[in-house]
């Protein structure tokens, strides 16, 4: 048999066709495996060559030949793997006859496919793919073979193996040959094999898919669709993946697997193809087009990657015309089938993540159009709207199930499964809240519901965020009502989200992310909520004390941060913050580090309110300070000190008719309002400047770099305004001093006193309380004069001192001021050469006030204390004498707090003058003066 004995290289294609005789010999040899001439067994390569010859010459034997070649490829793969395992260097291909035959087989098949692709390609492709599937499954467990999961290693291994490489080449050639006309058969073979040998075969699909992305994608889809139709995909069972026909699932699963693999590289073309399928199917009466939408849904159901790729663009393409078509498309479908489709759609919506917000908006807009006036273009069918509405309701229901169902059964099981739809909406809470606050009929309800679900889903952070946005963005009471509604809903399932919401708000404020009007709005909203009356019965909320209380508690934790806002440059914001703080309950134990900045800011705010001159604006400030002062004694002290300092220092003095001390040696230049105030800045940075008063708060000439202080008396105010301001201020101070009791508290008064001393004459702040002999006063003339001047500049000082006097024995602590004033007055009257005291009215008034003060503060006994009534009738000299006698008295009976005793029945301190020395000797001058002027003082 010459053909069999030929050397292997002689098996070249252009040989004359074998004669019938030769052929039958060949068949015999092939079947028996024996050399027909010698009767010895054929070597495997010779046997394979025999098969190749039959493949070329004997059409009915081609299947048998191909089957025989399987063994050849199998052997080659096996020996390749063995070689790899042993690590031996691969011998040259020439050395191995098997490898050579393998190449011959590859060439032969390539020739046949090239000669007549239509006849050969489908069969050869099926053979090659099936063989590859078998081989890769068979050797998957071998030690050298990487696991199915590591696709790249697998690809590398099999591509380096000549046998599988050849098979893959053959398959690719078949596909390439058929791509132009009808590659369905080839792709079908690939799909079937993929189903059978799924994980191990993936490398083939990956390689082929990336070589022919367009073909594979569209063919895989069309094969899948055909299969879907063939298995009654039009039926409603598409709804439930579990009940779908068992035979279809694997095919569609492999479609999904392949597309999923390709999605990483060719997402664009997949997306395009899917969309094309969708649009093509619309309005087409053909059967498999009817099934397209369910098929696509099923695909999306099984592959989140595909869903993500398609959904955003799909939503964009759903114009009214398309929607109407879709409606038409489904109008003929039976009801339960439709239910199934809707179920799938809802499920998919829940799993949409890309473009979730867009999808949601689209659904809302379609289900409840914003306006009756439709956009130009085809009108939307009423059925579409209804369908969308239904879809939305079902979606909400489904989400609710998911959200509430997932956490309740066992939290211990691990992290809850996220719902992609809600997960995707998380970053869009703000937009969602904005949409909700638009309060558009039905939409608002849905949106609110969704917001609640979202909040629960992404608790705790999401809940806080949602609440925060609702609070910050509401602009009317109705809108504001949404936040408590949401909160009430959330409280049922979550730990109270309010503190977190407030925390979020503060964080946002700190980050400066809120524009000024919105910030003010937020603060106002919070204040409003705090002030809302509690309509509850109260029994349920005995512990929590209602919503407002909860909010208050939450806010109280962030008091320092909120206090900062009082200093906000925007008046609106500051005012809103003031309102909020005024309504906010203050914690009992406020650490000084929090308290002092707060107080300082509040005082600043109060004066700012005074400057604004609006009573309404002032009220919250007053209330806030009053409440601050009632927190603790220390707080009250701080408030008072700040108030006094504020009222006397700087420009605020003008409010009360005072003049800021004229800067020495500086004529009045045009006041340039400083753009930056160091003081303000310091107030804002609450560090530093904690010493209330003291030398550091004194500013004589202005701020360096900011120019001098504005000239005194820049703005003249009406007497009425002045008295109103004074009244407001005093009543505030009074309220602060009173604390809980009806009378001015001693401690509070003392604080005011200290503050006064420091404000008026800081250098004398440490002076002793006891009075020196009158002669010694000469040593302090300059200081005394300054004190006098201060009193002149600040009319407010006298009422303030009177207030202090009310809180006995606090006035004692002002004795240095009183001493200085008295000494200056004595000197003035001594030097005064006018006939009547009326010639220097201010001094007269000051003297009168001083004496009255001393009497009020129980520093003078009643008799001496009343003599100021004489002063207007007397000559300056006489006043001088009288005042000297006052000095004398005080010199002898120093105004020391020890002289006062607490009298519990009055709840106040009292001084018993009876225990002091005789008053009589100090009354001698008075008596003389009385006698001398008896004609004018008859009234006494």
Distance CA 29, CA 25 (A): 6
Distance CA 643, CA 133 (A): 90
Taking the least distance from each CB to another protein, the nearer of 17 and 938 is 17
The reply to whether 28 sits near another protein by the rule CB under 8 A is yes
The reply to whether 247 sits near another protein by the rule CB under 8 A is no
The reply to whether 58 sits near another protein by the rule CB under 8 A is yes
The reply to whether 61 sits near another protein by the rule CB under 8 A is yes
Among 1, 6, 8, 27, binds another protein (CB under 8 A): 27
Tokens of residue 314, six digits: 């799909």
Interface stretch with another protein, choices 58-66, 85-93, 735-743, 861-869 (CB under 8 A): 58-66
Interface stretch with another protein, choices 27-35, 165-173, 521-529, 649-657 (CB under 8 A): 27-35
Interface stretch with another protein, choices 25-33, 91-99, 550-558, 742-750 (CB under 8 A): 25-33
Interface stretch with another protein, choices 52-60, 77-85, 282-290, 341-349 (CB under 8 A): 52-60
Taking the least distance from each CB to another protein, the nearer of 131 and 456 is 131
Nearest alpha-carbon partner for 309 in 355, 349, 278: 355
Q: Reduce the secondary structure of 22-81 to three states and give it as a string.
A: HHHHHHHHHHHCECCCCCCECCHHHHHHHHHHHHHHCHHHHHHHHHHHHHHHHHHHHHHH
C-beta separation of 323 from 282 below 8 A:
no
Distance CA 169, CA 200 (A): 18
Q: How many CB atoms lie within 10 A of CB 553?
A: 18
Distance CA 33, CA 363 (A): 71
Nearest alpha-carbon partner for 468 in 519, 423, 511: 519
Tokens of residue 220, six digits: 């895989």
DSSP 685-708: S-SS--S-SSGGG--SSEETTTEE
Instruction: Classify each residue of 584-622 as buried b or exposed e, where b means 16 or more C-beta atoms within 10 Å of its C-beta.
Output: bebeeebeeebbbbbbbbbbbbbbbbbeeeeeebbebbb
Query: For 824-830, which contacts have Cβ atoms below 8 Å and span 24 or more sequence positions?
Result: 824/784, 824/785, 824/787, 824/788, 825/788, 825/850, 825/883, 826/774, 826/777, 826/880, 826/883, 826/884, 826/887, 827/781, 827/784, 828/788, 829/876, 829/877, 829/879, 829/880, 829/883, 830/877, 830/880
Distance CA 271, CA 294 (A): 17
Q: How far is the CB of 48 from another protein (least distance, A)?
A: 13
Taking the least distance from each CB to another protein, the nearer of 58 and 445 is 58
Taking the least distance from each CB to another protein, the nearer of 65 and 259 is 65
Taking the least distance from each CB to another protein, the nearer of 26 and 758 is 26
C-beta separation of 321 from 377 below 8 A:
yes
Taking the least distance from each CB to another protein, the nearer of 131 and 582 is 131
Q: How far is the CB of 133 from another protein (least distance, A)?
A: 17
Taking the least distance from each CB to another protein, the nearer of 61 and 326 is 61
Q: Reduce the DSSP state of residue 502 to 3 states and report it.
A: helix
Taking the least distance from each CB to another protein, the nearer of 16 and 543 is 16
Q: How far is the CB of 356 from another protein (least distance, A)?
A: 43
Q: How far is the CB of 173 from another protein (least distance, A)?
A: 16
The reply to whether 60 sits near another protein by the rule CB under 8 A is yes
Interface stretch with another protein, choices 65-73, 389-397, 763-771, 788-796 (CB under 8 A): 65-73
Q: How far is the CB of 98 from another protein (least distance, A)?
A: 20
Q: How far is the CB of 69 from another protein (least distance, A)?
A: 11
Taking the least distance from each CB to another protein, the nearer of 28 and 536 is 28
Among 73, 120, 729, 900, binds another protein (CB under 8 A): 120
Taking the least distance from each CB to another protein, the nearer of 36 and 570 is 36
Strands 900-903 and 702-703: unpaired
Distance of CA 107 to CAs 54, 208, 432, Å?
Answer: 15, 20, 64
Q: How many CB atoms lie within 10 A of CB 557?
A: 14
Interface stretch with another protein, choices 21-29, 97-105, 287-295, 415-423 (CB under 8 A): 21-29
Tokens of residue 643, six digits: 């108030």
Tokens of residue 541, six digits: 């909320």
Interface stretch with another protein, choices 61-69, 81-89, 701-709, 809-817 (CB under 8 A): 61-69
Q: How far is the CB of 144 from another protein (least distance, A)?
A: 30
**Interactions with another protein, residue window 695-754 (CB under 8 A):** none
Interface stretch with another protein, choices 72-80, 111-119, 428-436, 530-538 (CB under 8 A): 111-119
Among 1, 34, 64, 341, binds another protein (CB under 8 A): 64
Among 10, 82, 115, 781, binds another protein (CB under 8 A): 115
Among 63, 247, 265, 778, binds another protein (CB under 8 A): 63
Taking the least distance from each CB to another protein, the nearer of 115 and 411 is 115
Q: How far is the CB of 140 from another protein (least distance, A)?
A: 24
Tokens of residue 35, six digits: 């050399």
Interface stretch with another protein, choices 19-27, 581-589, 755-763, 832-840 (CB under 8 A): 19-27
Distance CA 208, CA 548 (A): 66
E strand or H helix at 609: helix 592-612
The reply to whether 12 sits near another protein by the rule CB under 8 A is no
- Does residue 809 have a cis peptide bond before it, meaning omega lies within 30 degrees of 0? yes
The reply to whether 182 sits near another protein by the rule CB under 8 A is no
C-beta separation of 385 from 374 below 8 A:
no
Count of residues that interact with another protein, criterion CB under 8 A: 27
Nearest alpha-carbon partner for 221 in 274, 178, 286, 266: 274
The reply to whether 41 sits near another protein by the rule CB under 8 A is no
Q: How far is the CB of 404 from another protein (least distance, A)?
A: 49
Among 47, 49, 53, 56, binds another protein (CB under 8 A): 56
* Bridge partners of residue 24, in order along the sequence: none
Taking the least distance from each CB to another protein, the nearer of 54 and 832 is 54
Distance CA 764, CA 757 (A): 7
Distance CA 650, CA 656 (A): 12
Tokens of residue 413, six digits: 């099981």
- For the chain, give me the number of helices (H) and strands (E)? 43, 4
Q: How far is the CB of 36 from another protein (least distance, A)?
A: 13
Among 20, 149, 511, 542, binds another protein (CB under 8 A): 20
The DSSP 8-state label assigned to residue 540 in this structure reads T
Q: How far is the CB of 15 from another protein (least distance, A)?
A: 10
Q: How far is the CB of 33 from another protein (least distance, A)?
A: 11
The DSSP 8-state label assigned to residue 911 in this structure reads E
Interface stretch with another protein, choices 24-32, 702-710, 724-732, 833-841 (CB under 8 A): 24-32
Residue 401, Cβ density class (10 Å: 0-12 exposed, 13-18 middle, ≥19 buried): exposed
Q: How far is the CB of 287 from another protein (least distance, A)?
A: 24
Distance CA 849, CA 686 (A): 39
Taking the least distance from each CB to another protein, the nearer of 27 and 333 is 27
Query: Interface mask (CB under 8 A) for another protein, residues 66-105, using x and -?
Result: xxx-------------------------------------
The DSSP 8-state label assigned to residue 282 in this structure reads T
The reply to whether 934 sits near another protein by the rule CB under 8 A is no
Interface stretch with another protein, choices 17-25, 414-422, 664-672, 859-867 (CB under 8 A): 17-25
The reply to whether 23 sits near another protein by the rule CB under 8 A is yes
Q: How far is the CB of 365 from another protein (least distance, A)?
A: 43
Residue ranges in contact with another protein by CB under 8 A: 17, 20-21, 23-24, 27-28, 30-31, 56-64, 66-68, 112, 115-116, 118-120
């Amino acid at each position: 048999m010459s053909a069999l004995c030929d050397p292997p290289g002689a098996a070249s294609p252009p040989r004359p066709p074998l004669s019938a005789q030769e052929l039958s010999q060949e068949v015999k040899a092939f079947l028996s495996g024996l050399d027909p001439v010698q009767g010895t067994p054929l070597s495997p390569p010779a046997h394979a060559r025999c098969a190749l010859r039959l493949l070329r010459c004997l059409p009915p034997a081609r299947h048998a030949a191909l089957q025989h070649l399987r063994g050849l490829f199998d052997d080659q793969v096996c020996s390749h793997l063995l070689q790899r395992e042993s690590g031996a260097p691969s011998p040259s291909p020439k050395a191995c006859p098997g490898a050579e035959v393998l190449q011959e087989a590859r060439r032969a098949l390539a020739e046949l496919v090239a000669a007549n692709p239509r006849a050969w390609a489908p069969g050869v492709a099926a053979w090659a793919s099936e063989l590859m599937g078998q081989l890769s499954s068979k050797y998957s467990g071998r030690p050298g073979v990487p696991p199915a999961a590591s696709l790249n290693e697998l690809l590398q291994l099999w591509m380096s193996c000549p046998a599988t490489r050849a098979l893959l080449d053959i398959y690719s050639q078949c596909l390439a040959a058929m791509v132009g006309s009808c590659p369905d058969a080839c792709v079908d073979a690939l799909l079937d094999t993929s189903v059978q040998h799924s994980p191990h075969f993936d490398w083939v699909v990956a390689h082929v898919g990336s070589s022919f992305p367009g073909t594979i994608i569209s063919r895989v889809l069309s094969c899948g669709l055909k299969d879907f139709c063939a298995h009654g995909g039009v039926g409603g069972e598409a709804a439930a993946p579990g009940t779908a026909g068992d035979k279809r699932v694997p095919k569609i699963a492999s479609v999904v697997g392949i597309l999923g693999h390709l999605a990483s590289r060719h997402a664009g073309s997949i997306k395009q193809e899917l969309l094309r399928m969708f649009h093509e199917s619309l309005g087409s009466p053909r059967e498999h087009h009817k099934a397209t939408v369910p098929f696509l849904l099923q695909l999306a159901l099984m592959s989140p990657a595909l869903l993500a790729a398609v959904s955003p663009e799909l939503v964009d393409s759903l114009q009214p015309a398309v929607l109407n078509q879709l409606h038409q498309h489904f109008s003929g479908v039976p009801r339960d089938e439709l239910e199934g489709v809707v179920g799938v759609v809802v499920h998919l919506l829940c799993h949409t993540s890309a473009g979730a917000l867009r999808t949601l908006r689209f659904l809302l807009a379609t289900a409840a159009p914003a306006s009756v006036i439709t956009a130009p273009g085809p009108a939307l069918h009423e059925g579409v709207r209804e369908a969308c509405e239904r879809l939305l309701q079902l979606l909400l229901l489904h989400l609710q199930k998911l959200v509430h169902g997932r956490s309740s059964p066992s939290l211990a099981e691990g992290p809850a499964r996220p719902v992609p739809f809600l997960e995707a909406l998380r970053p869009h809470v703000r937009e969602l809240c904005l949409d909700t606050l638009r309060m558009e009929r039905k939409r608002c309800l849905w949106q609110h519901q969704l917001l609640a679900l979202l909040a629960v889903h992404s608790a705790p952070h999401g809940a806080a965020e949602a609440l925060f946005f609702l609070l910050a963005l509401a602009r009317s009471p109705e809108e504001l009502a949404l936040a408590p509604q949401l909160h009430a809903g959330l409280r049922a399932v979550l730990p109270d989200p309010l503190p977190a919401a407030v925390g979020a708000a503060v964080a946002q404020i700190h980050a400066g992310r809120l524009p000024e009007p919105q910030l003010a709005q937020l603060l106002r909203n919070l204040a409003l909520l705090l002030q809302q009356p509690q309509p509850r019965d109260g029994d349920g909320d005995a512990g929590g004390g209602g919503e407002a209380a909860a909010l208050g508690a939450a806010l109280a934790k962030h008091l320092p941060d909120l206090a900062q806002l009082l200093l906000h440059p925007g008046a609106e914001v500051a005012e809103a913050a003031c309102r909020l703080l005024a309504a906010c309950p203050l914690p009992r134990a406020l650490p000084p580090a929090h308290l002092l900045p707060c107080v300082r800011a509040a005082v600043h705010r109060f004066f700012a309110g005074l400057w604004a001159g609006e009573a309404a604006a002032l009220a919250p400030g007053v209330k806030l300070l009053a409440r601050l002062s009632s927190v603790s004694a220390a707080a009250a002290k701080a408030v008072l000190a700040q108030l006094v300092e504020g009222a006397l220092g700087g420009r605020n003095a003008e409010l009360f008719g005072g003049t800021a001390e004229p800067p020495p040696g500086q004529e009045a230049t045009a006041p340039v309002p400083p753009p930056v105030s160091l003081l303000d800045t310091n107030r804002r940075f609450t560090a530093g400047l904690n010493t209330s008063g003291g030398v550091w708060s004194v500013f004589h000439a202005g701020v360096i770099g900011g120019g001098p202080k504005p000239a005194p008396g820049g703005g003249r105010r009406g007497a009425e305004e002045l008295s109103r301001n004074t009244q407001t201020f005093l009543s505030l101070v009074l309220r602060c001093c009173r604390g809980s009791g009806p009378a001015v508290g001693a401690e509070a008064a003392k604080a005011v006193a200290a503050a006064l001393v420091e404000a008026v004459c800081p250098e004398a702040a440490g002076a002793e309380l006891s009075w020196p002999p009158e002669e010694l006063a000469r040593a302090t003339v300059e200081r005394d004069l300054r004190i006098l001047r201060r009193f002149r500049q600040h009319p407010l000082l006298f009422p303030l001192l009177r207030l202090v006097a009310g809180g006995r024995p606090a006035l004692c602590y002002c004795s240095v001021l009183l001493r200085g004033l008295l000494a200056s007055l004595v000197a003035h009257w001594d030097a005064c050469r006018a006939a009547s005291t009326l010639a220097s009215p201010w001094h007269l008034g000051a003297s009168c006030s001083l004496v009255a003060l001393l009497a009020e503060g129980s520093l003078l006994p009643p008799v001496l204390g009343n003599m100021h009534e004489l002063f207007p009738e007397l000559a300056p000299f006489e006043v001088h004498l009288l005042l000297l006698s006052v000095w004398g008295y005080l010199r002898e009976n120093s105004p020391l707090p020890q002289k006062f005793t607490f009298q519990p029945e009055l709840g106040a301190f009292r001084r018993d003058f009876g225990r002091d020395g005789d008053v009589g000797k100090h009354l001698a001058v008075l008596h003389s003066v009385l006698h001398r002027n008896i004609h004018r003082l008859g009234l006494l």
